[in-house]
Amino acid sequence: MTPLADKIRPTTLDEIVGQPHLLAPGKPLRRILERGQVTNMIFYGPSGVGKTTLARIIASNSNMTLYKLNGTSASVGDIKEIIAQTGTLAGCNGILLYLDEIQYLNKKQQQSLLEYIENGSLTLIASTTENPYFAVFNAIISRSTVFEFKPVTAKELEPAVERAFRLMGQELGADCQPEDGVVSYIASGCGGDVRKAVNTVELSVLASETRDGVMPVTLETVQQLTQRSNMRYDRDGDQHYDLLSALQKSIRGSDENAALHYTARLLEVGDLLSLVRRILVIAAEDVGLAYPQAMPIVKACVDAALQLGLPEARIPIAEAVILLATAPKSNSAYLAIDAAAADLQRGTTCEIPRQLQNKHFDGADAKVRGQHYLYPHDYPNHWVKQQYLPDELKDRVYYQFGQNKQEQAARAYKELIQKK
């Protein structure tokens, strides 16, 4: 049985759902396609947003011989078999290779295409759900144009969901009547994935009862079928790092509600380890010396969460996230250690001052004999002026006191003991 998602697949550019930044009238990709110019392209974006559909439309409107491969199953032999058609009667108008999931091809497999892409005997349209600048061989990218596809908005999806209900009703010979709220629920709950939305429609209809030629589809039925199935997440992909990035930036921006949203999404997919590691980093990097107590508190929350496990772990994690989001912020320590490291990366590795070295005898050629270390505890306020940085860096300042109560108090204390 052909899935509904394939039956409803668009056949023209105007039928494609979403991607107005690429396919709206006047947009560059739309103009290229309307002129019949098929060039090497890489379509990048999440699943179910129209990459394969657009590639099929391009192929059907070209005069080239179309071949299709999937990176999950294609071999070097498959690629060579297609390449062998270049220069033959079958490839006289050019060969268009649609390569889905190119990220699964290894470097050697991707390299085997280069010569033919270069001389124009083969035109490549590839799609990938992973960032092509990490997943695709650089030489392929340099010979192609990358177009990024975005998740489809709920508003853009609703007409496709309604059309899917109508088509299912026609196939089953019944009047499909989704209850109020069903269409919007499916459209907003599929994570921007058109295929997932259409598949949800198909399942909802098949799970509904027909009465006197009418098939009501209830919201309760849809909710039962979609429970925990609409979360878009790949632990090794862009979505994983995007969620962690959004969490950290929300906490850094002191938005506790956004931080809780991204925390809930990570907990919902069970990614507790990535979450606890990131909030420990945030405590040090973004809250830092403005509230040093944040680190031991967050560490205690993390330890409790790991001991409890999910679902109870969500409670101490939420406490840690709220604490970090509402705490004063300072990145002074982060900037200071990076500034010190920058000197080392420039090759500035200097001799440790003699007074700081471990006690040992001076060589016969030493200009100054003896360590001459001044023990700070022997002086008032436990401080004495003394050079600690190497000679070449003696005036270097890495740490700047942050403009917050904690660090300004430390600054005032330092100034006080040095003045006395």
State the Cα–Cα distance between residues 80 and 173, nearest whole angstrom.
Answer: 47
**Percentage above 70 pLDDT, the chain:** 91
Pair 141, 188 in one domain: no
- Domain stops at, among 88, 123, 148: 148
- Domain stops at, among 206, 226, 246: 226
**Does residue 240 register a pLDDT over 80?**
no
**CA atoms lying within 13 Å on the CB side of residue 303:** 6
Pair 196, 124 in one domain: no
Pair 129, 165 in one domain: no
Which residues lie across from 124 on neighbouring strands? 97
> Would residue 52 count as lying in a domain?
yes
**Does residue 258 register a pLDDT over 90?**
yes
Q: Which of 148, 240, 153 is nearest to 192 (CA)?
A: 153
How many independent structural domains does the chain possess? 4
Give the CATH number of the domain where residue 308 resides. 1.20.272.10
SS (H, E, C) the chain: CCCHHHHCCCCCHHHCCCCHHHHCCCCHHHHHHHCCCCCCEEEECCCCCCHHHHHHHHHHCCCCEEEEEECCCCCHHHHHHHHCCCCCHHHCCCEEEEEECHHHCCHHHHHCCHHHHHCCCEEEEEEECCCHHHHCCHHHHHCCEEEECCCCCHHHHHHHHHHHHHHHHHHHCCEEEECCCHHHHHHHHCCCCHHHHHHHHHHHHHCCCCECCEEEECHHHHHHHHCCCCCCCCCCCHHHHHHHHHHHHHHHCCCHHHHHHHHHHHHHCCCHHHHHHHHHHHHHHHHHHHCCCHHHHHHHHHHHHHHHCCCCCHHHHHHHHHHHHHCCCCCHHHHHHHHHHHHHHCCCCCCCCHHHCCCCCCCCCCCCCCCCCCCHHHCHHHCCCCCCCCHHHCCCCCCCCCCCHHHHHHHHHHHHHHHC
**Token duo for residue 181:** 């709220």
Give the CATH number of the domain where residue 211 resides. 1.10.8.60
Pair 37, 143 in one domain: yes
**Does residue 244 register a pLDDT over 70?**
yes
pLDDT at residue 364, as a whole number: 57
CB atoms within 10 A of CB 10: 16
pLDDT at residue 295, as a whole number: 95
Least confident segment among 24-38, 266-280, 288-302, 396-410? 24-38
> Would residue 9 count as lying in a domain?
no
**Does residue 35 register a pLDDT over 90?**
no
Centroid of chain to Cα 95: 34
> Would residue 13 count as lying in a domain?
no
pLDDT at residue 336, as a whole number: 93
Torsion angle, CA of 134/138/140/145, rounded to 10 degrees?
70
Pair 131, 40 in one domain: yes
Pair 132, 195 in one domain: no
Pair 318, 220 in one domain: no
> Would residue 3 count as lying in a domain?
no
pLDDT at residue 15, as a whole number: 78
pLDDT at residue 219, as a whole number: 87
Count of residues for the chain? 420
Burial class (CB in 10 A: 0-12, 13-18, 19+), 72: exposed
Pair 165, 66 in one domain: no
Beta strands 65-70 and 175-178 are unpaired
Pair 207, 264 in one domain: no
Give the CATH number of the domain where residue 371 resides. 1.10.3710
**Does residue 323 register a pLDDT over 80?**
yes
Q: Which domain holds residue 398?
A: 352-419
pLDDT at residue 232, as a whole number: 56
Give the CATH number of the domain where residue 43 resides. 3.40.50.300
Pair 42, 135 in one domain: yes
Q: What is the mean pLDDT of residues 290-312?
A: 92
Pair 24, 142 in one domain: yes
Q: What is the mean pLDDT of residues 138-159?
A: 85
Pair 138, 27 in one domain: yes
Average pLDDT, the chain: 83
- Domain stops at, among 291, 326, 361: 326
**Does residue 293 register a pLDDT over 80?**
yes
Residue with tokens 């459209």: 187
> Would residue 346 count as lying in a domain?
no
> Would residue 1 count as lying in a domain?
no
**Letter for the amino acid at 361?**
F
Q: Which of 287, 286, 319 is nearest to 302 (CA)?
A: 319
> Would residue 268 count as lying in a domain?
yes
Q: For the segment 333-374, what is each residue's pLDDT rounded down to a tens digit?
A: 999 999 988 888 887 667 888 878 876 666 555 555 556 788
> Would residue 409 count as lying in a domain?
yes
Contact between 302 and 313 under an 8 Å Cβ cutoff? The reply is no
Give yes or no for a cis peptide into 390 (omega within 30° of 0): no
